[in-house]
Chains A and B, each alone.
Chain A
Amino acid sequence: MNHTWPSRLLGVAVPLVLALVVSVVLLQLAGAPPFEALRLLGDGSVGSLAKISDTLSAWVPLTLAAAGLVVTFAAGLWNIGVEGQIVAGAIAATWVAREMPGSAPVVITLMLVAGVVGGLLWALLAGVLKTRGGVNEIFGGLGLDFVASGLAIYLIIGPWKREGIASTSGTDLFRPEAWMPTVGDAQIPVIPVVLTVLAVVLVYVLMRGTRFGLRLKAVGKNRRSAHLLGIPTERYTLAAFMVCGALAGLAGAILVSSVFHKLVPAVSGGYGFLGILVVLLAGYRAAWIAPIALFFAAVAVGSTQLSLRLDLDSSLGGVLQGVLVLLVILLGGWRAVRSRRSTEHAAQEEP
């Protein structure tokens, strides 16, 4: 296949234009002025410092989840359990926020560590179910997603319920020491952003510059060859789950400490599944995660404006993201088939 820059750019530009066309058509169908809507989308996501701050707050968990998923995908795994791993991280961090005394730096650090550990252990569970129980990771992960959200709801209405009232709207707000500090009036989440950038760099280096990443790729692409090369494939599978779980757990911890300041039932906010879309769109490459996630986050945040201003459903953003990913995948498949065909012809025409 030809991976020159123009062709790669075309591979992104064509679906992007097509996705926009689909969105315009959908907006027409819904009786909304399409270009006004797209403008609002932009305004709502990057139109002001406060909006940029919102977009960044969405970018952080999305990117963390996607970065983790790059690792599990490299190992050939569909870690659908990533949603549950975010929730597990959020629960672990909430426990720290509620139970651990101490000053802000200590509490917040402990929350993040707890989130990492919680997500990691939750992912390990899916890994063990796969390697030892033979349970396909898609269904094991799905089951653990249900369990994690059930656990979160149980805690919210049970042991951690608000004074007097048991409500599914969430626990009591954390004490101020457990609130992630922000910068400026726009409340820009600087620490989470820095952590996320570090995580992306970590995954990038892990996959590009370490023996661990290389062996993991070998396991994901050809388990038998990897085994013959002496790589302990089961251990690497579990390790991939743990790295992804750790990053997802970190995302969960950041969500409770920086966004909600409490534990809420749908704490993962669908960032895990959306992360899968980001990775598919990025072609499983770590380097593309951050910009694509930024675009996705902007679309997601911007589309909430649509419901406020144009009385449209905010799911337009999701539709746009889905159409984009679908088109990129289909177009990629089409080009691969075409190039395979042309090489076959070339081989046959050889004298």
Chain B
Amino acid sequence: MEATLASIVAAASPLVYAVVGETITEKAGVVNLSMEGTIMLSAMTGFAVSYTTGSVLAGFLAAMVVGMLIAALVAFASIELRLNQIAVGFVLALLAVELSSFLGDPYVGQQGPSVRAIDVPLLSDIPFLGRILFQHNLSVYGSYVATIGAYVFMFHTRRGLEMQGVGERADASFARGIDVNRLRYLYTIVGGGLAGVAGAAFSLDVKLGWREGLTTNFGWIALAIVIFGGWHPLRAASGAYLFGVLQTVSLKLQPVFPGVSQILPLLPFVLMIFALVLVYLRLFRELGDRHPMLRHLLIADPPSGLGTTFHRE
């Protein structure tokens, strides 16, 4: 049991980075739809760089830079060129996937370095929890830091409040002296950087190595989990862990249903997407309206300014 839970926590860590990153981006009002490609290309880059240099850290940094560059392009196209974020993000998603295949060809099947396991002193000795949470590696611990950091930043710092304001209502933020577009650039790039880290966490930790399509569909599912997570970093991370549970369950079920074992890995994707329907359900909405406590759990209101652009007259 402990081992299973620990493996879920570890396996979910890349997705946690990705959903926290996209939550930050969307909270600031920008949709970075390129997640599928960003994660894939940064997974490849992360592996290639650490394979070449022998340094895992260099791999993570390179992956982060890839994510930031793609995000910067999305922000530029939206803010400066006033282009549809969905269109640009979608093209970048497909393009980056193709690029990862093309550029990653020489690295397929190679053995590269991986993140070293480190137990967290003291914490790892906690019974049960220590085993589940604190006997992993820095990549996994980093996903905790990202989640909790994003949460604290968003809800307990001045800058975080401003970030939410920019995504919620650009004109009101502007009237309060906030440079809306500069912050949108900033948080889109930060979010993209985290998505890049997600890629490296796949190729240098969870799915060691590189092959074409290493992270197929994880980017799309990350976008869905952001909605499921109601644009809240903790709830989004929970979504990523829930997805990890579904994946583990479906793997465990494979020997039970040998006839359909090949489709079981797809099941978590399907379930996760259709969990979205619940978020949209009127019943849940009404329940949330009546019980403010439940609202946080059930309802997902996107930032009102999501996908829009702001220009001063």
A and B: direct contact (Cβ < 8 Å)?
Answer: yes
A-B residue pair count with CB separations less than 8 angstroms:
123
* Nearest CB of chain B from residue A285's CB, rounded to whole Å: 15
Report chain B residues within 8 Å CB of A205. none
| Given the contacts A158-B259, A166-B259, A146 and B270 also touching, CB distance less than 8 Å | yes
Q: How far is the CA of A325 from the CA of B266 in the complex (A)?
A: 30
Mark out the residues of chain B between 69 and 124 whose CB falls within 8 Å of any chain A CB in the assembled complex.
77, 80-83, 86-88, 90-92, 94-95, 97-99, 101-105
Q: Is the CB of B273 within 8 A of A153?
A: no
Q: Is the CB of A153 within 8 A of B266?
A: yes
Report chain B residues within 8 Å CB of A337. 80-82
* Nearest CB of chain A from residue B233's CB, rounded to whole Å: 20
Mark out the residues of chain A between 157 and 190 whose CB falls within 8 Å of any chain B CB in the assembled complex.
157-158, 166, 168
* Interface residue range, chain A: 35 or more
* Interface window among A9-17, A56-64, A109-117, A315-323: A315-323
* Nearest CB of chain A from residue B313's CB, rounded to whole Å: 11
Q: Which residue of B lies closest to A333 (CB)?
A: B81
Q: Which of B91, B276, B281 is the most central at the interface, judged by chain A CB atoms within 10 Å of its CB?
A: B91
Q: Is the CB of A143 within 8 A of B81?
A: no
Report chain B residues within 8 Å CB of A78. 86, 90
| Given the contacts A133-B277, A277-B91, A139 and B263 also touching, CB distance less than 8 Å | no
Q: Which residue of B lies closest to A143 (CB)?
A: B273
Q: Is the CB of B266 within 8 A of A30?
A: no
Cβ-based interface call for A50 (8 A): no
Cβ-based interface call for A226 (8 A): no
Q: How far is the CA of A259 from the CA of B104 in the complex (A)?
A: 29
Cβ-based interface call for B163 (8 A): no
Cβ-based interface call for B141 (8 A): no
Q: How far is the CA of A312 from the CA of B108 in the complex (A)?
A: 13
Mark out the residues of chain B between 177 and 224 whose CB falls within 8 Å of any chain A CB in the assembled complex.
212, 217, 220, 223-224
Q: Is the CB of A157 within 8 A of B101?
A: no
* Interface residue range, chain B: 35 or more
Cβ-based interface call for B260 (8 A): yes
Q: How far is the CA of A332 from the CA of B274 in the complex (A)?
A: 36
Q: How far is the CA of A166 from the CA of B86 in the complex (A)?
A: 40
The one of B102, B260, B267 that contacts A30, using a Cβ cutoff of 8 Å: B102
Q: Which of A139, A154, A158, A312 is the most central at the interface, judged by chain B CB atoms within 10 Å of its CB?
A: A139
| Given the contacts A319-B102, A329-B88, A333-B82, A129 and B95 also touching, CB distance less than 8 Å | no
| Given the contacts A139-B273, A157-B260, A157-B263, A315 and B102 also touching, CB distance less than 8 Å | yes
Report chain B residues within 8 Å CB of A158. 259-260
* Nearest CB of chain B from residue A118's CB, rounded to whole Å: 18
Q: How far is the CA of A316 from the CA of B92 in the complex (A)?
A: 15
Q: Is the CB of A315 within 8 A of B101?
A: yes
* Nearest CB of chain B from residue A38's CB, rounded to whole Å: 15
Q: Is the CB of A312 within 8 A of B105?
A: yes
Q: Which residue of B lies closest to A23 (CB)?
A: B102
Report chain A residues within 8 Å CB of B263. 150, 153-154, 157
Q: Is the CB of A322 within 8 A of B86?
A: no
Report chain B residues within 8 Å CB of A143. 224, 269-270, 273-274, 276
Q: Which of B259, B263, B277 is the most central at the interface, judged by chain A CB atoms within 10 Å of its CB?
A: B263
Report chain A residues within 8 Å CB of B280. 133-135
Cβ-based interface call for A201 (8 A): no
Cβ-based interface call for B146 (8 A): no
Cβ-based interface call for A149 (8 A): yes
Cβ-based interface call for A104 (8 A): no
Cβ-based interface call for A276 (8 A): yes
| Given the contacts A142-B273, A149-B266, A313 and B95 also touching, CB distance less than 8 Å | no
| Given the contacts A149-B266, A150-B267, A322 and B98 also touching, CB distance less than 8 Å | yes
Report chain B residues within 8 Å CB of A313. 101-102, 104-105, 212
* Nearest CB of chain A from residue B146's CB, rounded to whole Å: 24
Q: Shortest 10 CB-CB distances between A and B: which pairs?
A: A322-B95, A143-B273, A333-B81, A318-B98, A315-B101, A313-B105, A333-B83, A150-B266, A315-B102, A146-B269
Instruction: A273-B94, A330-B88 are known; give 8 further A-B pairs, CB within 8 A.
Output: A30-B105, A138-B86, A143-B224, A150-B263, A150-B270, A166-B259, A313-B104, A319-B95
